[in-house]
Amino acid sequence: MDGEEAKPIILHAFPDKIPEFNEFYILKLVNVSGGSPGPGGQLAGTNLQVTVMIPFNDDPFGVFIL
């Protein structure tokens, strides 16, 4: 919509039952389409990437059972 400066991006991480440590991904915006012509239809000059962390899961340190 005209005048929008921000839009959420939703990422879903699905479990796979494989023990994993923290994982880091870089999400970078590189192109825009469908925007209005001119400055309103362009990406900003800054803040175009963010680091996403998926925390460790499925007991990556092991499970001790007696």
Tens of pLDDT, residue by residue over 1-36, are: 666 777 888 888 888 888 888 999 999 988 777 666
More confident residue, 3 or 47: 47
For residues 1 and 66, give the distance between their C-alpha atoms in angstroms, rounded to a whole number. 60
In 3D, which of 52, 64, 63 has the Cα closest to residue 17?
Answer: 63
